[in-house]
Amino acid sequence: MTESFPRQHARTRGFTLGAPRSFTVSDSGGRVAFLRSSSGDDPVNRLWMLDAATGEEIVAADPVELLADPGEENLPPAERARRERARESGGGIVAYAGDPGLTKIAFTLDGRVFLADAADRTVDSLPVEPGAFDPRPSPDGQRVAYVSGSGLRVVDATADGLDREVIDEPGDTVSWGSAEFIAAEEMGRSRGFWWSPDSQRLLVARVDTAEVPTWHIPSPAEPSAAPVPMAYPATGTVNADVSLAVLGLDGSRVDLEWDRDAFEYLARASWAPRPNPIIAVQSRDQRTMVILEVHPDTGATTEIARQTDEHWVELVPGTPAWMGDRLVTIEDRGSARHLVIDGVEATPDNLQVRSVVAADEHRVVFTASEDPTEVHVWQLDGEGELKQLSDQLGVYSAATGGETVVMARAAGTDREAAVEVITPTERIPITSSAVTPSLTPAPRFFVVGSRDLRTAVLYPSDDDESEGRPLPVLLDPYGGPHAQRVLKARSPFLVSQWFANQGFAVVITDGRGTPARGPAWERAVAGDLAHPVLEDQIDALDALAQSHPRLDLSRVAVRGWSFGGYLAALAVLARPDRFHAAVAGAPVTDWRLYDTHYTERYLGHPDHSPEAYTRTSLLELAGDLTRPLLLICGLADDNVFAAHTLQLSQTLFEAGRPHQVLPLPGVTHMTPQEQVAENLLLLQRAFLFDSLGLHPPGNPKHRSAD
């Protein structure tokens, strides 16, 4: 029996298993570390090492050999939270850290710290406290720092080495060395400590959640289980109190000084390659970010750069950084997001910079887009010469060290993914064991409407255009900030093509607020995450219908997850004249229930701009529901809590508005469980067929019902 696409998609975790990932290049460029599982349905990742001189690949660490049952790890709560924040669906070794030369690489399994030695090809289990989390070798490779419980510890890099506490603090609300929820979920900072270049001190974050509201995640399917408490900084409430200290291995402590009342967000920190650390701190309203140089002997800080914006200062991955003695930032100036060197724009206005990959005294490697549907890798050298390193159409990422570049191209609609290790003399491919999807998406890309909306349309794979049969329409957007769906890659369109093969014309549009269209485009949603976003979906649909007469605008449905779920529910509530059914997965229904950093960036503080929260709340529209609506939520979701769905359902019920709710016990914001992932697609299809009066594929009435 042929395996269905929903089953295949679920079994392979969206075709990610078996693909090489998480690349790191040694500072000399001679070694490349990465993760990869053994096959396209094996969730257990191994640590691999590639010799850039010979091209030899070896397994540096294999959980199958290190654990009795690598599929049943006893993960510490901190590691489970880290994986949720990173949307990590794999198992085995899912994160690692090495010294600059990649001679020693640390990782955790089952709450234990392991250290792989690249020189002698051994793996040692270090004598650490239980529940270890986020191990990181010192630059000299002699020690490994890690978090255990609420404290930071250091262990010698030997199997019988000394393990000792660096710092801990009594109480249930204080932790050292871990990133708080907001940093990991919204700011892209997943770590809480940094080694000094001389390996003798650490810069360590202290987090106190005593004043943060406590929310609870119950387990309704297990009534004997106590609800899990969580410090959750909902918009308008108190954030965690985050400070920093320089801690010496000799027991010394120097607390850092900056105006934490004015700049309560610790956005970035690093302590390499220069003798003094730098940190980036952000104001609560996010309109100002200051980059500070830290004087580790005294704790004093000196401002070296400042960014301001009337709406918000964007936090961009990889920055701030150093190009020798020159400060590297990415800043929104005029019509573009620029790479900026010591305050001077270094990229043209037609290039939207997305991230800094790496920087050293000779060059900066970064990602950027000219066409928002593509992502390329670029290099700026010390003389200011700009060069594109990726050489074909598509979506790229990279890692670098020395003169070596790992160039990774995402699978396109007409080609497989490709990863190459590029040295001055060689191009070495890294193979993938990922499964090839049983269907091939065929998106057609368009630029439509007065705002040049980037849009993709997918038709059934067996579609016969000559028949001219009208097709019901399914909008499948994300639509919100910080994410794109319309990219020249395969992955964004796999599920969409499956829905198209059920008899839909699937339409995907990236509207205002999405990345790579410039600062003004992204800030068009300031104060209103609802109306501009929905308006762009409708404008794209109308523009497409003029040139695609087969789009049946009398049968239009919309589906989405997270922000896409919010947009789907908004569509049928606010515009039932245009949308006839919606599937809203993990939707934010009232932005007052979402976190501080994300929500206040776009809508402001609820005490100062309550009208922004009122006009974007789905609860305010509940009484207007006249179309079929399916709400889906994970009851263990600690990002978009189930309360969002349940409060909307309650409001709909009180207004006498029929709707459907699918609660998923034990499911978080991700849905990696095979049965859950597979059946979610099948249940959505059944709901859409029923709501629009359609018939399953193979039924003679398929695509012809009114």
> What one-character DSSP code corresponds to residue 607?
T
Residue 704 scores a pLDDT above 70: no
Residues 439 and 25: their CA atoms lie apart, in Å, by 34
Is 177 within a domain?
A: no
Give the pLDDT score at 700: 43
Shared domain check, 458 and 388: no
Residue 318 phi/psi, 5-degree rounding, is 90, 0
- pLDDT averaged over every residue in the chain: 95
Band of the pLDDT at 701, cuts 50, 70, 90?
very low
Report yes or no: 613 and 591 within 8 Å, Cβ to Cβ.
yes
> What one-character DSSP code corresponds to residue 234?
B
**CA dihedral for 128, 129, 130, 133, sign (positive or negative):** negative
Band of the pLDDT at 675, cuts 50, 70, 90?
confident
Is 182 within a domain?
A: no
Report yes or no: 449 and 570 within 8 Å, Cβ to Cβ.
no
Give the pLDDT score at 166: 98
Band of the pLDDT at 367, cuts 50, 70, 90?
very high
Give the pLDDT score at 681: 96
Shared domain check, 580 and 468: yes
Residue 426 scores a pLDDT above 70: yes
Cα end-to-end span (Å), the chain? 33
Give the pLDDT score at 80: 85
Residues 8 and 14: their CA atoms lie apart, in Å, by 8
Answer with the one of 168, 197, 214 that is the final residue of a domain: 168
Mean pLDDT of 185-214: 98
Helices (H), 119-240: 181-182
Give the pLDDT score at 73: 67
Residues 355 and 363: their CA atoms lie apart, in Å, by 14
Shared domain check, 487 and 376: no
Distances (CA, A) of 217 to 484, 638, 640, 642, 649: 30, 7, 11, 9, 18
Answer with the one of 133, 168, 203 that is the final residue of a domain: 168
| HSE value, Cβ hemisphere, 13 Å, CA-based, for 230 | 21
Residues 591 and 378: their CA atoms lie apart, in Å, by 37
Is 438 within a domain?
A: no
Answer with the one of 168, 194, 210 that is the final residue of a domain: 168
Report yes or no: 495 and 478 within 8 Å, Cβ to Cβ.
no
Backbone φ/ψ region at 63: left (φ over 0), alpha (ψ -120 to 50), beta: alpha
Shared domain check, 372 and 486: no
Shared domain check, 137 and 14: yes
| SS3 state of residue 335 | coil
Mean pLDDT of 483-491: 97
Report yes or no: 434 and 18 within 8 Å, Cβ to Cβ.
yes
- DSSP secondary structure, 512-569, as one string: TT-SSS-HHHHGGGTT-SSHHHHHHHHHHHHHHHHH-TTEEEEEEEEEEETHHHHHHH
Give the pLDDT score at 71: 64
Largest CA distance in the chain: 79
Give the pLDDT score at 173: 97
Residues 627 and 569: their CA atoms lie apart, in Å, by 10
Residue 187 phi/psi, 5-degree rounding, is -100, -5
Taken as a whole, the chain contains a residue count of: 706
Shared domain check, 605 and 500: yes
Q: pLDDT (tens digit, 9 = 90+) per residue, 588-636?
A: 999 999 999 999 999 999 999 999 999 999 999 999 999 999 999 999 9
Report the b/e string of 682-698 with b at 16+ CB within 10 A.
eebbebbbebbebeeee
Is 449 within a domain?
A: yes
Distances (CA, A) of 508 to 201, 394, 455: 50, 18, 6
Shared domain check, 471 and 384: no
Q: Which residues span the domain enclosing 386?
A: 316-402
Shared domain check, 328 and 470: no
Report yes or no: 544 and 446 within 8 Å, Cβ to Cβ.
yes
- The domain that holds 137 is classified in CATH as 2.140.10.30
Is 413 within a domain?
A: no
Cβ neighbour number for residue 400 with a 10 Å cutoff: 24
Shared domain check, 479 and 533: yes
Band of the pLDDT at 699, cuts 50, 70, 90?
low
Give the pLDDT score at 414: 86
Mean pLDDT of 1-21: 93
Band of the pLDDT at 249, cuts 50, 70, 90?
very high
Give the pLDDT score at 500: 98
Band of the pLDDT at 186, cuts 50, 70, 90?
very high
Query: Percent of the chain having pLDDT more than 90?
Result: 91
Residue 353 scores a pLDDT above 70: yes
- DSSP secondary structure, 653-681, as one string: HHTT---EEEEETT--SS--SHHHHHHHH
Residue 702 scores a pLDDT above 90: no
Shared domain check, 457 and 389: no
Shared domain check, 490 and 389: no
Mean pLDDT of 95-103: 97
Is 392 within a domain?
A: yes
Mean pLDDT of 155-180: 95
Helices (H), 617-673: 642-654
Band of the pLDDT at 466, cuts 50, 70, 90?
low
CA angle 157, 160, 164 (to 5 degrees): 70
Mean pLDDT of 442-451: 97
Is 544 within a domain?
A: yes
Give the pLDDT score at 698: 55
Cβ neighbour number for residue 452 with a 10 Å cutoff: 11
Report the b/e string of 670-680 with b at 16+ CB within 10 A.
bbbbbebbbbb
Shared domain check, 463 and 395: no
Tell me which residue has tokens 């640590």: 47
Number of domains comprising the chain: 3
- The domain that holds 598 is classified in CATH as 3.40.50.1820
Is 136 within a domain?
A: yes
Q: pLDDT (tens digit, 9 = 90+) per residue, 660-671?
A: 999 999 999 988
Q: In the structure encoding, which two tokens stand for residue 256, read together?
A: 């850092």
Q: pLDDT (tens digit, 9 = 90+) per residue, 24-55?
A: 999 999 999 999 999 999 999 999 999 999 99
Q: What is the Cα 590 distance to its own chain's centre?
A: 22
